[in-house]
């Protein structure tokens, strides 16, 4: 190559100056996430796992799992909203979510009926939070109606608000809002789409 006419463009494009070998940036990123986590400055760690209901985003704070998001929610949008609501110190850090990923995998393979993970309900407050806390008491393979949940949390007339709490559940799958149906047994809504809700209910019915 003839460099004698070297100018800015040649530098900006010179392969020997700009080429980065494959894998280098991934290794640097992993090292960064590891150190940031160790030094306590990684406020939100996340990873994406493959499941029968599509790619699930799992995000965790220092306190526990804070968000599970379906692909249809838009993972980029979910991360942007976590940056806004919790902290912008967010990195993909699969190691920090190793246990959560393992339990999700066990759940989908039918080997796990209850999640045993620290949960951070920071994204949910007030009545919605009360509803979410009750949902974890609905056992694997069982369902309740929106009206039953409303009664259980001491507010029998708040059926619609229970519906909203389920629809805005920041931790679907792990906090089992899919186990809440309409009183007539029809599905109602679901943050992951009705196909996903059906898949989860069938999985639990088959295993339980």
Partner 1 sequence: MKQPFEKLVELHGATVLRVCRAVVGRAEAEDVWQETFLAALRAYPDLPPDANTEAWLVTIAHRKSLDAMRSNGRRAVPVGDVPETPSPHGVPGSGDDGDGLWSSVARLPDKQRRVIAYRYLADLAFNDIAAIVGGTPAAARRAASDGLKSLRTRLAASQLEGESA
Interface residues with partner 1 (CB under 8 A) are 2-8, 11-12, 14, 16-18, 20, 24-25, 28-29, 31-32, 35-36, 39, 41-42, 44, 46, 79-80, 82-84, 87-92
Catalytic annotation, pick one of 42, 79, 119, 177:
177
In the complex, what is the shortest distance from the CB of residue 157 to partner 1, in angstroms, rounded to a whole number?
Answer: 38
Q: Residue 125, by phi and psi: left (phi above 0), alpha (psi -120 to 50) or beta?
A: beta
Query: By C-beta, is 84 or 184 nearer to partner 1?
Result: 84
C-alpha–C-alpha distance, residues 200 and 14, integer Å: 53
166 is catalytic: no
- Residues in Cβ contact with 23 at an 8 Å cutoff, skipping those fewer than 6 apart: none
In the complex, what is the shortest distance from the CB of residue 205 to partner 1, in angstroms, rounded to a whole number?
Answer: 38
The continuous run of DSSP H or E covering 66 comes out as: strand 65-69
Q: Cβ(181)–Cβ(145) under 8 Å? A: yes
Query: By C-beta, is 86 or 175 nearer to partner 1?
Result: 86
Query: By C-beta, is 19 or 186 nearer to partner 1?
Result: 19
In the complex, what is the shortest distance from the CB of residue 92 to partner 1, in angstroms, rounded to a whole number?
Answer: 6
Q: What is the CA radius of gyration of the chain?
A: 22
Give the active site residues: 177
């Amino acid at each position: 190559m003839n460099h004698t006419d070297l100018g800015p463009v040649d530098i900006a494009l010179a392969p020997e100056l700009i080429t980065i070998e494959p894998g280098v940036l991934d290794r640097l990123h992993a090292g960064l996430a590891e150190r940031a986590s160790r030094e306590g400055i990684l406020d939100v760690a996340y990873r994406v796992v493959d499941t029968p209901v599509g790619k699930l985003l799992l995000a965790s704070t220092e306190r526990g799992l804070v968000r599970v998001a379906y692909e249809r929610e838009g993972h980029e949008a979910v991360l942007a909203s976590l940056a806004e609501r919790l902290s912008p110190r967010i990195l993909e850090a699969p190691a920090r979510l190793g246990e959560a990923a393992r339990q999700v995998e066990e759940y989908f393979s039918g080997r796990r009926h209850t999640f045993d993970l620290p949960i951070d309900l920071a994204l949910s407050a007030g009545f919605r939070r009360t509803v979410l806390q009750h949902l974890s008491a609905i056992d694997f393979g069982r369902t309740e109606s929106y009206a039953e949940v409303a009664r259980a949390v001491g507010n029998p007339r708040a059926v619609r608000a229970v519906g909203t709490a389920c629809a805005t559940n920041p931790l679907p799958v792990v906090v089992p809002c899919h186990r809440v149906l309409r009183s007539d047994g029809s599905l109602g809504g679901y943050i992951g789409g009705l196909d996903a809700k059906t898949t989860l209910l069938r999985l639990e019915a088959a295993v339980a």
